[in-house]
Structures are given as C-alpha cells and as structure tokens.
C-alpha cells in the first residue's frame, strides 16, 4: 500500500513508518520537525526508516512540511491509499501555556487532512486521539461512552479532532477510525515524559522526581501494542466510523512506577517530589473491550515488562539518547 504518516518523525509516527516500510509498504512521512523536544530523536527515526527501506521492499520518503499547509496536505493525500494522522502539538503543560498552538495544529491541521481525504479515493484515515479527552473520571476504567470533560486545552483539541473525524464519516462517508491512546511509551519516546525522566535520572545516580504526591495513576501502553493495532487497520474496514480506546487495560500509580524503575536500576536511590503541574489528569485507565471486539486487540506488554524493555533499549542507545534527554 501507499501510506502517508503525518507526524511521521515523531514517537508513534516514527515507529509506524519504520514498521510499515519493513512490511514492504511505500511510505511518505510529513513532519515539520518542531523543536518541542530535541529534533535529534526525530532525525534518528527518519534514519531508521530509511535504513529499513534500503533493507527491504518498501520505500520511504520524508517531507519537511506542516499539516497546516493545506495545499501540501492535499497533494500528499492524493498520492496514497491510507493516511495515519499522527501530527499534533503534544503536551498537556505546553497547551496550558499556549492553547492556540494545539488548536491550530490539532484541529485545523486535522481538518486539512480530512478535507483532502474527502476529495480523494482514500481508503481510510486513522486518527491519533488521546485519553486526555476524558479528563475527570466519573468511573474507571474509561469506556468510550464515558463523559468527556478534558482538563487541558490539549484534551479539548484532541476531542474536537476525533469528533470532526466521526462527523466526516457520518456526513461524507469518509472511512475514519480514531484511536484514543493511553500514555504510550517505549523506544524513542519523548524525553520530557515521566517514564523517560525516571530512567534517565536513575541511570545517572539521581533519584526520580515525582510531580505531585505520586497517587496519580496511568494506563501505560507499550509502543509495540500501538503499532500492532494500527497495522490491523490496514486490512479491515470493520471499524470505520468508530472511536476506540487503545491502552494496556492495566494501570499503575506514579510513585510505584518510579519505585519499579529505581529498583531495577539502583535500589539505593530515594525519591524526590515536586509540585504537580496544572492540567494533568489525576487518573487514566482504559477499557479496551471495544477495540478487542472490532480489531481483536489484545495488549501484550505489562508495565513491568515494558520497564525492563525500555531500560534495556535506553542502555543500548545511551550514547546518543541520553545527551538529548538531559538537554530537553
């Protein structure tokens, strides 16, 4: 297939592009290399995808551009069969400081993709949404019908984007699927996330820093599970028009996560605490039964398995990744 991955140099987008190329597909990635975090990580993802293209049957092309460029988006969408729309201004805390930027990228950029797809022969648009749409839990785990009361501008922008995708399916017949990701982690993840910060500090002999009292809980989803569910959507239209949770179906409080990371690296370290930022959700926990029903989704990596795998990857890639983590 011919596939467009917007945000294709980012964490999830870069992993998708790499796997799709390795599977023999022809992949175009669109990314503006926004320095929200060190672009060296994004450049590394581009290099890996190019290496996969050199090794196999798939092809890879990187386009330095922005989803807010409607003409460019329209041109690229016209060349492909499927769009994986991962491009977004990430970061709850960033959105609190500057709510207009996620609005411009996450909503207007999404509309550019949807409009381009509506006017093409595209077979599907797969949209990256977020558990941030839920906000304040009335019950856990979240199912897709849970009320949506996002507590950050980022959450509002992702909710608007997925609802536009739903409406474009219902009104225009555009095949869309929105995946609500729950705190994805793994190789090449953003260095400003709690998970990567814990590992970085512990490997450097420093105690992990917990924001808040550590009772917040998260449903951490390993990147391989996210890649697998996106792969499934290449071959089926059964979920068209749907919005699906993609999580691990498990959760862990942040203090325990810090202790698990610390104990694997250096049990002698203590814990440090800092103020919890505005806009952070208190709890997330995914009910993935709908994704299981439609796509056969079964998360395969527990949080403790994921901790070990990420630490092993981090150690193997420490020469280039650690400098970027410490500078971010």
Q: What is the dihedral of CA 307, 246, 20, 39, to 10 degrees?
A: -60
> Which residue shows structure tokens 């990596």?
301
CA geometry: angle at 35 spanning 72 and 105, to 5°? Answer: 45
Burial pattern 126-146, b for ≥16 Cβ within 10 A else e, equals bbbbbbbbbbebeebbbebeb
Backbone angles phi, psi at 266, to 5 degrees: -160, 90
**Hey, which residues does 245 pair with through a beta bridge?**
180
**Hey, which residues does 59 pair with through a beta bridge?**
26
Catalytic annotation present for 142: no
Measured over the CA atoms of residue 208, residue 211, residue 212 and residue 218, the dihedral's sign is negative
Catalytic residue (choose from 37, 154, 297, 314): 154
C-alpha to C-alpha distance for 255 and 234, rounded to whole angstroms = 38
Give the Cβ contact number of residue 35 at 10 Å: 10
**Catalytic (active-site) positions:** 154
């Amino acid at each position: 297939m011919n596939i467009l991955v917007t945000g294709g140099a980012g964490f999830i987008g870069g992993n998708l592009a790499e796997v799709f190329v390795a599977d023999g597909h022809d992949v175009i990635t669109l990314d503006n290399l926004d320095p929200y975090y060190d672009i060296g990580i994004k450049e590394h993802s581009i290099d890996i995808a190019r290496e996969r293209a050199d090794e196999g049957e798939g092809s890879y092309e990187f386009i330095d551009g922005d989803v807010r460029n409607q003409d460019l988006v329209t041109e690229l969408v016209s060349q492909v069969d499927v769009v994986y729309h991962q491009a977004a201004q990430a970061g709850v805390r960033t959105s609190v400081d500057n709510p207009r930027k996620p609005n411009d990228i996450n909503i207007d950029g999404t509309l550019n993709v949807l409009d381009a797809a509506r006017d093409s022969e595209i077979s599907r648009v797969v949209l990256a949404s977020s558990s941030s749409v839920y906000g304040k839990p009335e019950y856990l785990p979240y199912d897709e019908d849970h009320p949506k009361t996002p507590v950050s501008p980022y959450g509002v922008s992702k909710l608007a984007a997925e609802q536009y995708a739903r409406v474009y399916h219902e009104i225009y017949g555009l095949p869309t699927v929105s995946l609500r990701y729950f705190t994805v982690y793994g190789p090449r993840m953003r260095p400003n996330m709690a998970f990567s910060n814990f590992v970085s500090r512990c490997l450097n002999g420093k105690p992990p820093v917990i924001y808040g009292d550590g009772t917040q809980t998260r449903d951490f989803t390993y990147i391989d599970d996210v890649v697998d569910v996106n792969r499934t959507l290449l071959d089926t239209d059964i979920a068209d028009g749907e919005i699906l949770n993609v999580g691990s179906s498990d959760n862990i409080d942040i203090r325990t996560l810090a202790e698990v990371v610390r104990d694997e690296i250096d049990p002698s370290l203590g814990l440090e605490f800092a103020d919890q930022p505005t806009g952070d959700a208190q709890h997330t926990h995914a009910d993935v039964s709908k994704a299981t029903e439609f796509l056969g989704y079964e998360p395969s990596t527990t949080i403790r398995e994921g901790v070990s795998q990420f630490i092993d990857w981090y150690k193997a890639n420490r020469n280039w990744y650690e400098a970027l983590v410490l500078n971010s």
